[in-house]
A and B are shown apart, each in its own frame.
Chain A
Amino acid sequence: MKSEIIKTLFIRFLSSVLTLFLLVSFLFIIIRLSPGDPTDKYISAKLGSELSERIAEKFSLNQPVTNQFFSFVANVFSGDMGVSYNYRLPVFEVIWEYFSFTLVFASISFVFQMSLSIWLALWVIKKRKKWLNKFVTDSSLFIYSIPAFVLGVALIYIFSVSLNLFPISGLKSLDYDKLSFFSQLLDKLHHLVLPLITLTAAGVAMFYKYIKESMDEVLQQTFVTNLRASGVDENIILLKHVIPNALRPLISVAGVELGILLGGTLITEVIFSLPGMGRLTVDSIFSRDYPLVIGCVFTAGAVMILANFLADIIKLKIDKRLIKGILN
């Protein structure tokens, strides 16, 4: 069994690598066929296109696309995604600077999305009030339908401009370095409250709907009635029996959501001036920084695959019978 697991894991790893390779290769061709030229910005009134031509030569942009592709493939296999045209730094060095923020920010938001939605679903179920159920369900639908750019700006207007409770943008204060460790922590928290609400609200609403429906289904099942008939405490029924069963269908969705979050949260990043992957990706697309675009998409693809794999592992932890289906 163990060797079979290792073998299937290896196959899954290979297929993931192949998926990523096909993704970046496809992207490489698409962006080179699309209009726009990364060296246009170097054309100057005085010099004409001379500097732009030199820069094109430096980055091999004057080579035929097929030559560029083969040299790109050779570099990818040696772990080199090239040098960013704008930053003039290795692509992964640039990405790491932005991804490290996204990793923390998206993970915190994800944890909040999951925990708040579960808590809310439990609370509504425990209260057993029809009007409350309807109110929370309708409210969650309303929150889910508010676009992030509307929610973000509204939060800024209420909490930053009118009430002056939170900063409008940024990750930390300008005097951050002068603060004590605890104050630095509070300062970052203070800056991240509104972005986290903006990013988390729709996720909570979405997960609430999934969990609530799933829990309602589980609560209808015979084993729950049996447990209640046996006099088991309602809290134990909910926490030990209903939640694990209700969470199973949610985990796959959560895996995809985590992958999307880690790929970048553009709107929240732009509104609140946060240095994340979303902004980096879009900026690199607009400035035609080809290696960086490919690096960003590669990273987003890789985290999506990893997040899904993680979701599968968690599903497996809950139910060992799923092992074959997951590994294949």
Chain B
Amino acid sequence: MSIKKLNLLLLSILLLLIIACDSKQSPPNNRIVIGMSADVQSFNSLFAFSYEESTIADLLYPGLLDFKWNEEKGELDPYPMIAKSWQWAEDSSFIKFTLMDDILWSDGKKLTASDIVFSYDVFSDPDVQSRLYGIFNQLFTESDGHVNIEKTFNIISPYEFEMYFPENSIPDLVKIIVPVIPEHVFKNVSRDQLANHESNFNPVSSGAFKLKKWERNQSIILEADSSSFLFKQGQVSEMIFKIVPDYTSRMLQVKKGEIDLVELVKVEDVLELKKEEHLVVFPLFGREYDYIGWNNIDPESISGGQVKQNKFFGSINVRKALSFAINKKEILEEYLQGLGELAASSVSPIFISSYNNEVKPYEYNPDEAKRLLALEGWKDEDRNGILEKGKEEFKFKMYYPVGNPLREYAAIVVKNNLKSVGIEVTTEKMELGTFIDNLYERKLNSWMAGWGIPIPLDLKPYWYSDQNVAVLNFQSYNNSEVDKILDRLEDKLSNEKKYELIKEFQKIIHQDEPVTFLYWTPNIIVYNTKIKNLKITPYGVLVHCWEWTLN
């Protein structure tokens, strides 16, 4: 090829590019594009393990009932969905559900009571290994957790059935309602093969939206299903989930108007985004908090069988001293720009009825910290700036997972704060998978992490003494009073009594300070002003998105 021909080729490529640039089309204006960082692996609600998967699966497969966030009480209220009404038996031994009789699956088949029963059967089947496996202990179950269909359900007609509960069980509607999946699609599929079934990628759904197209790692397009019982004239015609793994690209697309809604925006971008007239910045509080974990027992003693108190963090006074020594407010104001709230316990202020206003976070008070440490025998006798008790110096390593700038900033503040009271901390980042593994194995002495708060409130897995029950009690906290409260919360009690017990729980946790509660971190949501009827509550951002409209 001569040089002239090569030049010509390059010129034609350039020309083609100019044509391509000119071929941009303006998008239809009845769609909402939501930015996501990761793709889904399945649309089947059974296997929706990730946040992204459950968000989309919940739109495709509504449950028997719907729930709405009660702002006044700070709890969920049940609303009709597939069931238009439900009636408790006088002795609470069963509920009679009456279904809507005009609900169609996206393939045109009718949704009936047998789909509901089938859903409970499959979700609880140990061979399926669904995301809800094991939560059905308030129903009649076999020893392997599988719901006993015969004992639990009585189908009266295609649109009426009764759900029975064992004696002494305290069923909570929020905990027992599952998404409904189509029996006619899955009934002939071997249970252990359900995870690989083709329908997981081409779902037959009953929600307000159905899957139109899925381009792996690019986009998921849901279109309004006009045959759905949730369909309303004027609703958004397409919900598009655009997968953009790079945070910077996601933010640029939000600013440019290519993405209409995005979650988990970083605090450092808030000021800039607020300047954009077409965007609304909405910080949602109360679903996540950061804390510093202090292992209450000696991690090395676990393998030996004889569990010993942690030489540093086994004492309540030392843990309180650490909380007094850390200037949480500084982190909140400097890094989080006030977009957060100091945490006093693991009970979120969003649970208005259960929240104990009298429990206040430990305020920054290095003198009080020093006093408490001295009380426990930690004194700087050799004047080297580090406290010691006998021959033991107060030195430890604090781990935190990589990739969280807030925690990186907080780690520096914590290190400096503790240094000023005579404690030497070495901070070390750890890859997330390794970090989680170390937590499950209770190998860490001290760490900084965060918890997402489940709705409804669930405290036992985090604070109960028995580690087999409380798999997430990484700090190995042990208090029989707390255990009693957590056990009692599972009894048949009035709501008022439950609120009282949870308030008492917060008081004890505050006294024991098993970890240092830092702050409630915001989930910052940014959305385009063209979206109307959007109601963001702690229950979720996209719930009821079929009610959204566009300007």
**Which residues of A line the B interface, CB within 8 A?**
34-37, 40-51, 54-55, 58, 83, 86-89, 97-98, 115-116, 119, 122-123, 126, 153, 156-157, 160-161, 164-175, 177, 183, 186-187, 189-190, 193, 235, 239, 270-275, 279, 283, 286-288
Closest chain B residue to A178 by CB distance? B25
Nearest-neighbour CB distance to chain A for B327, whole angstroms, equals: 31
Nearest-neighbour CB distance to chain A for B438, whole angstroms, equals: 7
Contact A174 B2 (CB under 8 A): no
Nearest-neighbour CB distance to chain A for B175, whole angstroms, equals: 9
Contact A189 B17 (CB under 8 A): yes
Give the complex CA separation of A172 and B24 in angstroms: 11
Give the complex CA separation of A315 and B526 in angstroms: 56
User: Which residues on A sit within 8 Å (CB–CB) of B252?
Assistant: 156-157, 160-161, 168
Q: Is B361 an interface residue (CB 8 A)?
A: no
Closest chain B residue to A87 by CB distance? B41
Our count of residue pairs bridging A and B at CB distance below 8 angstroms stands at: 161
**Which residues of B line the A interface, CB within 8 A?**
2-3, 6-7, 10, 16-17, 19-21, 23-25, 27-28, 31, 33, 38, 41-42, 47, 49, 126, 129, 133-135, 145, 192, 195-196, 213, 215-219, 221, 240, 242-246, 248-249, 252-253, 255-256, 258, 431-434, 436-438, 440, 454, 458, 461-462, 468-469, 471-472
Give the complex CA separation of A48 and B458 in angstroms: 13
Contact A160 B256 (CB under 8 A): yes
Which of B3, B38, B196, B217 contacts A88 (CB under 8 A)? B196
Contact A46 B135 (CB under 8 A): yes
- Given contacts A35-B433, A47-B133, A190-B23, whether A153 and B248 have CB atoms under 8 Å apart is yes
The 8 closest A-B pairs by CB, nearest first: A36-B433, A47-B134, A45-B461, A275-B217, A190-B20, A35-B434, A186-B20, A48-B471
Which of A51, A172, A271 contacts B246 (CB under 8 A)? A271
Nearest-neighbour CB distance to chain A for B31, whole angstroms, equals: 8
Nearest-neighbour CB distance to chain A for B314, whole angstroms, equals: 25
Contact A161 B256 (CB under 8 A): yes
Give the complex CA separation of A187 and B6 in angstroms: 24
Known pairs A164-B256, A187-B23, A190-B24 / 12 extra A-B pairs, C-beta < 8 Å: A40-B436, A47-B135, A48-B468, A54-B126, A98-B217, A156-B249, A170-B244, A171-B218, A174-B27, A174-B31, A186-B16, A190-B23
User: Which residues on B sit within 8 Å (CB–CB) of A160?
Assistant: 252, 256
Which of B25, B31, B218, B433 contacts A273 (CB under 8 A)? B218
Nearest-neighbour CB distance to chain B for A201, whole angstroms, equals: 15
- Given contacts A45-B471, A235-B3, whether A279 and B196 have CB atoms under 8 Å apart is no
- Given contacts A47-B134, A48-B471, A161-B252, whether A275 and B216 have CB atoms under 8 Å apart is yes
Contact B23 A46 (CB under 8 A): no
Closest chain A residue to B193 by CB distance? A88
Nearest-neighbour CB distance to chain A for B127, whole angstroms, equals: 9
Give the complex CA separation of A122 and B252 in angstroms: 39
- Given contacts A42-B49, A235-B3, whether A35 and B438 have CB atoms under 8 Å apart is yes
Contact A271 B249 (CB under 8 A): yes
Contact B23 A49 (CB under 8 A): no
By secondary structure, the B interface counts as mixed
Nearest-neighbour CB distance to chain A for B26, whole angstroms, equals: 10
Contact A183 B129 (CB under 8 A): no
Nearest-neighbour CB distance to chain B for A227, whole angstroms, equals: 17
Contact A51 B469 (CB under 8 A): no
Closest chain A residue to B192 by CB distance? A58
Which of B217, B242, B462, B468 contacts A45 (CB under 8 A)? B462
User: Which residues on B sit within 8 Å (CB–CB) of A49?
Assistant: 471
Give the complex CA separation of A137 and B435 in angstroms: 46
Give the complex CA separation of A288 and B431 in angstroms: 12
Give the complex CA separation of A286 and B20 in angstroms: 37
Contact B23 A279 (CB under 8 A): no
User: Which residues on A sit within 8 Å (CB–CB) of B17?
Assistant: 189-190, 193
Nearest-neighbour CB distance to chain B for A233, whole angstroms, equals: 11
User: Which residues on A sit within 8 Å (CB–CB) of B129?
Assistant: 42, 51, 54-55, 58
Contact B134 A51 (CB under 8 A): yes
Which of A47, A55, A170, A186 contacts B218 (CB under 8 A)? A170
Closest chain B residue to A57 by CB distance? B129
User: Which residues on A sit within 8 Å (CB–CB) of B134?
Assistant: 44, 46-47, 50-51
Contact B246 A165 (CB under 8 A): no
Closest chain A residue to B443 by CB distance? A35
User: Which residues on B sit within 8 Å (CB–CB) of A239?
Assistant: 2-3
Contact B249 A169 (CB under 8 A): yes
Contact A168 B219 (CB under 8 A): no
Contact A273 B243 (CB under 8 A): yes
Contact A51 B133 (CB under 8 A): yes
Contact A193 B20 (CB under 8 A): yes
Residue with the greatest number of chain B CB neighbours at <10 A, chosen from A98, A186, A283: A186
Contact A36 B434 (CB under 8 A): yes
Closest chain B residue to A192 by CB distance? B20
Which of A45, A174, A189, A270 contacts B20 (CB under 8 A)? A189
Contact A279 B245 (CB under 8 A): yes
Contact B244 A115 (CB under 8 A): no
Give the complex CA separation of A58 and B134 in angstroms: 17
Give the complex CA separation of A193 and B17 in angstroms: 8
User: Which residues on A sit within 8 Å (CB–CB) of B145?
Assistant: 50
User: Which residues on A sit within 8 Å (CB–CB) of B221?
Assistant: 174
Nearest-neighbour CB distance to chain B for A77, whole angstroms, equals: 24
Contact B16 A275 (CB under 8 A): no
Closest chain B residue to A58 by CB distance? B129
Closest chain A residue to B38 by CB distance? A283
Give the complex CA separation of A214 and B170 in angstroms: 81
Contact B471 A43 (CB under 8 A): yes
User: Which residues on A sit within 8 Å (CB–CB) of B243?
Assistant: 273
Which of B19, B245, B471 contacts A270 (CB under 8 A)? B245
Contact B469 A48 (CB under 8 A): yes
Give the complex CA separation of A232 and B183 in angstroms: 81
Nearest-neighbour CB distance to chain B for A103, whole angstroms, equals: 16
